[in-house]
Amino acid sequence: MAKDKTHTIVIDAMGGDYAPEIPVRAALAALKEWSDIAITLVGRADKLNPLLSPNPRITVVNASDVITNDESPVMALRRKPDASLSVALKLLREGQADALVSAGSTGAVMAGAMFKVERIEGVARPALAVLIPTLGTPCLLLDAGANADITPDILQSFAVMGDVYAKNVMGIKEPRVALVNIGEEAEKGSNLTKEAHKLLAAVGQPFRFVGNVEGRGIPLGECDVAVCDGFTGNVFLKTMEGVSKAIFTKLKTGLSSSFKGKLGGLLAQDTFRGLKKELSPDEVGGALMLGVNRVVVKAHGNSNERAYLNAIKQAYNMEKAQVVGKITDAMPKAQTL
C-alpha cells in the first residue's frame, strides 16, 4: 500500500502582531490535528527554538530579518532577502513546501506570491478570497481587496477560481456563482458589471452563473461564490465585520441594562455564544490567494491561536484537494465573447 503524502506547510513565523508565539502554538496544534502534515517555521532561530521541543515533523529555517507593515511591499521583498517572508516564499517557489501561511504584511504577501511564486497561466490578477457567513453554507467572496481596478475578463477568472474552490474544498457539487451588483437585473450597474454579466452568462462557461446578487443577498445565502472587484469586496467585507460587531455590542448593552434583559440573556446565552462563534473572523482563518502557482493563505495580522490554526487548516485543505492544479486545468475552458 502506498504511503500517504505528507503535506508540508511553511509558516512565516515572524509575521503578525503576536509572532512568533502564536504561529508556533498554532503549528504545534496543527501537528496534533493532522497526522499527514509537516511544518517548516521560518524566522529567527534564537526566538523559535526555545518555544519548541524536538519533533521530526517540524523544521526551523533561520531568517534574521522581518518585513513590517509600514514598508513598501515590493521594495522590502527586494531589499530584505533574509526576511522571514522572503525565505518562506523562496522555499515555496522551489518546491520545498506545498503551502504558505503568513500573518505579516498583506501587501508583501500578495506581491511575493505574484512575483516570486508567479501566477497560474491565464490568470491576469490573483484574487484574495474570503468565506462570508450566511444563513446556510458560507459564501466565497472574491476579490476581497487585491485588485481595485479590473476588467470583465478578470472577473471571469475569479468566477472560474471560486467555482473550483467551492467544488473541491467546500464540497458543493454545482456552486451558484453570482456577480455582486446594485440590482438583480442584467442591465443594471457600472460599465464593468454590465460587460462582465454578458461574459459570465456566455454559453459554455465551466461554472453555473446565476446572475447578479445584491450585497444583502450574500449573507442571506443567495449564492455560493460572489465575484466583484477588490474595492467593492473590501468595503462589503469591512461593513459586514462592523455591523456584526455593532449588533453584538448593542445586544450586550441592552441585555445588561435591566433585570429582564439579564434573565433573557442568561436563557439565550448558548444561542448567542454559537452565533458569535459562527460570525467570528477567528473561525474563517484568513484570506486565500487564488490564482498563483502554490497555495498561499494570508492570516489576519492580529490572529489568535485559533484563527491561525484555521488559516493553516485552509492551506491544508487547499493543498490536499489540489486546488491549484484544478484551477490551472479549468482556466482554458472559460469562454470569451
pLDDT at 273: 66
139 and 243 belong to one structural domain: yes
Give the pLDDT of the chain (337 residues) as one tens digit per residue.
Answer: 345 789 999 999 999 999 999 999 999 999 999 999 999 999 999 999 999 998 999 999 999 999 988 889 889 899 999 999 999 999 999 999 999 999 999 889 999 998 888 899 889 899 999 999 888 899 999 999 888 899 999 999 999 999 999 999 999 999 999 999 999 898 899 999 999 999 999 988 999 999 999 999 999 999 999 999 999 999 999 898 888 788 777 777 776 777 666 666 565 666 656 655 665 666 667 899 999 999 999 999 899 999 999 999 999 999 999 999 999 999 887 766 5
37: in domain: yes
- Which residues have C-beta within 8 Å of that of residue 267, sequence separation ≥ 6? none
30: its cell numbers = 496543527
61: in domain: yes
Instruction: Note the pTM of the prediction, 2 decimals.
Output: 0.89
193: in domain: yes
CB atoms closer than 10 angstroms to residue 207: 24
Q: What letter represents residue 230's amino acid?
A: G
278 and 298 belong to one structural domain: no
DSSP H or E segment with residue 2: none
CA dihedral sign of residues 118, 119, 125, 129: negative
- Which residues have C-beta within 8 Å of that of residue 121, sequence separation ≥ 6? 328, 331
43 and 161 belong to one structural domain: no
Helices (H), the chain: 21-33, 45-48, 73-79, 84-93, 106-112, 152-168, 191-200, 230-255, 259-267, 269-279, 305-320, 323-330
Three state DSSP letters for 287-330: EEEECECCEEEEECCCCCHHHHHHHHHHHHHHHHCCHHHHHHHH
pLDDT at 279: 58
Q: Which residue has the cell 459586514?
A: 240
228 and 243 belong to one structural domain: yes
101 and 148 belong to one structural domain: no
Task: Read off the DSSP letter of residue 216.
Answer: G
134 and 155 belong to one structural domain: yes
Cα separation, 320 vs 65, in Å, equals: 31
Residue 211's domain spans which residues? 125-282
328: in domain: no
> Tell me, what CATH number does 172's domain have?
3.40.718.10
Asked if 192 contacts 229 with a C-beta cutoff of 8 angstroms, the reply is yes
Q: Examine residue 224 and say whether the peptide bond preceding it is cis (omega within 30 degrees of 0).
A: no
pLDDT at 252: 75
201 and 62 belong to one structural domain: no
Count structural domains, the chain. 2
Asked if 179 contacts 193 with a C-beta cutoff of 8 angstroms, the reply is yes
Chain-centre distance for alpha carbon 88: 18
pLDDT at 5: 85
Q: What letter represents residue 284's amino acid?
A: V
97: in domain: yes
201 and 75 belong to one structural domain: no
173 and 134 belong to one structural domain: yes
